[in-house]
Amino acid sequence: MYRYDEFDHDFVQARVAEFSDQVARRLAGEITEDQFRPLRLMNGVYLQLHAYMLRIAVPYGTLNSKQLRMLGHIARKYDKGYGHFTTRQNIQFNWPALSDIPAILADLASVEMHAIQTSGNCIRNVTADHFAGAAADEVADPRPYAEILRQWSSVHPEFSFLPRKFKIAVTGAERDRAAIQTHDIGLHLKKNAAGELGFAVYVGGGQGRTPMIAKKIRDFLPEADLLSYCTAILRVYNLYGRRDNKYKARIKILVHETGVEEITRQVEAEWQELKDADLKLPEADIRAIDAYFAPPALVERPEGDEAVKLARLDSKRFSEWLDQNVVTHRHPDYAAVTISLKGIGEAPGDASDSQMEAVADLAEKYAFDELRVSHEQNLILPHVARADLKAVYDALVDIGLATANSNLITDIISCPGLDYCALATARSIPVAQEISNRFASLERQREIGELKLKISGCINACGHHHVGHIGILGVEKKGAELYQVTLGGSADENTSVGEIIGRGFSSEEITDAIEQIVETYLGLRLDRNEKFIDAYRRVGPAPFKEALYAGETKAA
């Protein structure tokens, strides 16, 4: 993985010193809250309902064991013993004292981490496929490009005060696991007919109160042109993006209002001015960054097949976990493991200090010291020898992280919601927990098959509800929580925005409604191979509306 050079170290240390001074001056009353707020936000410090919240960047979701151990340490020493992994592949701590944040940032800097640009109207943490470097289906590892974007976008003087926040995602595979079409810029790393690497470039995706699917504005951008082209996009946005209305300030609105042809023309025109200048990436520089992401030396471990076969016979639960949470690796002797942070009835994405430390130990022992955070709020061990899978599983059982539910209905994405968040209008976590408990039976979950359920506690859509196969949006209506259901959303290579199915449900009704939707699907699917999303796309909303609301219509 990437290692800080001298410049990176100095840069992060300087920022820690600068922000420590700002905190000290704030605590001494030398600067006001109005003056301090933008400074703390630039360093990932929010104020929520119960306390401050610190959001720490995990660039493209990649961590080593030392870093995860440090996150566990911070959870124990400065917070309340846990952290919350987010849909931007970051981690949030919900209870730090402002006076402790300088010490936390110093601890983070010691393991090459920081909280810079995890808030504010700047380019946020660049996300990537969590199986990057391991996936059997990828053309190349997308993370070197994410790292190049990170370096370029960090305190970029021109792009630190954009009309609104700006999010970039990169995938290196046809199968999109990074939700690139819901991003301000989505990059699909691919090869052209000549075998050269480049990107399909998508612009103007986003969720929030106005969900939009990104438009492809270029089918193939040579890799050397990555920064000049992104600069051209950002320049057009910075110039024409709306600053008069926060709710219309994202690039998705600009793309929508300008039209994809005109925006493409503007970007291409801007790019003509830039493409042959100093932003062109030298081949040697790209390869130098590439080298940081060189895959670990995966020695042959052919005994894995037999070991897995025997362990399967020995343990039904291991076998189920293998089927659900373990995916094919580009090396036949290895596999990528999803460590579910969605234990039945647990808060999605939360991990305790000791769990973080134990997972760090596992990564060190069995996974070449590599870890990922997925945007679906799970942890990943990207390179595990199949021969070691049983040992990893057993260790996960010991720490309560062996739930075999990856991609099933209880693998819920959920924002923190009104239990923590100052913006939320309704709770999300308790809804996720109740649904998780209702569908606790793994047998039932597996019978239902792949189903992506996503919950947001307000219209800002941090819980990605728009692109859930089933999406739930919590709002406040007449002083009570009300949950609106959308169906048919998807965040893969066939991205779609879910449709509101009808009137919302109270917190008492919502789990029954979800169960009704699932039962309806089970009743109408062609066979077990027809996933929920495929069945929905085939039949549309009518049967689900009928199941949910027919009684009401008749009664009325």
Q: Which of residues 306-365 bind other proteins (CB under 8 A)?
A: 347
Give the one residue of 450, 476, 499, 530 binding other proteins; rule: CB under 8 A: 476
* Structure tokens given for 550: 């027919």
Q: Which is nearer to other proteins, 95 or 166 (CB)?
A: 95
Using the rule CB under 8 A, give the single segment among 197-205, 207-215, 428-436, 541-549 that binds other proteins: 428-436
Q: Per CB under 8 A, does 366 bind other proteins?
A: no
Number of residues that bind other proteins (CB under 8 A): 31
Please give the helix or strand (H or E) that residue 410 lies within, else none. none
CB of 460 to other proteins, least distance (A): 15
Q: How far apart are CA 543 and CA 487, in angstroms?
A: 12
Give the one residue of 43, 64, 405, 433 binding other proteins; rule: CB under 8 A: 433
CB of 27 to other proteins, least distance (A): 6
Q: Per CB under 8 A, does 427 bind other proteins?
A: yes
Provide the 10 A C-beta neighbour count for residue 456. 30
Residue type, 549: Y
Q: Which is nearer to other proteins, 364 or 434 (CB)?
A: 434
Residue type, 506: S
Q: Which is nearer to other proteins, 96 or 488 (CB)?
A: 96
Q: Which is nearer to other proteins, 405 or 436 (CB)?
A: 436
Q: Which of residues 79-138 bind other proteins (CB under 8 A)?
A: 80, 95-99
Please give the helix or strand (H or E) that residue 347 lies within, else none. none
Identify the CA nearest to 71 among candidates 88, 93, 52.
Answer: 93
Q: How far apart are CA 424 and CA 463, in angstroms?
A: 11
Q: Which is nearer to other proteins, 332 or 430 (CB)?
A: 430
Q: Per CB under 8 A, does 252 bind other proteins?
A: no
Q: HEC states along 471-486?
A: EEEEEEECCEEEEEEE
Does residue 349 sit in helix, strand or coil? coil
Q: Per CB under 8 A, does 502 bind other proteins?
A: no
Residue 89 contacts residue 61 (beta carbons within 8 Å): yes
Q: Which is nearer to other proteins, 95 or 131 (CB)?
A: 95
Q: Which is nearer to other proteins, 105 or 226 (CB)?
A: 105
Spell out, one character per residue from 22 to 51, where the chain touches other proteins: x when CB under 8 A holds, - when not.
----xx-x--xx-------------xxxxx
Q: Which is nearer to other proteins, 97 or 291 (CB)?
A: 97
Q: Which long-range contacts (CB under 8 A, 24 or more apart) does 276-280 make?
A: 277/228, 279/227, 279/228, 279/231, 280/224, 280/225, 280/227, 280/228
Question: From the CA atom positions of the chain, what is the Rg in Å?
Answer: 23
Provide the 10 A C-beta neighbour count for residue 444. 15
Q: Which residues bind other proteins (CB under 8 A)?
A: 26-27, 29, 32-33, 47-52, 80, 95-99, 347, 418-420, 422, 424, 427, 429-430, 433, 476, 479-481
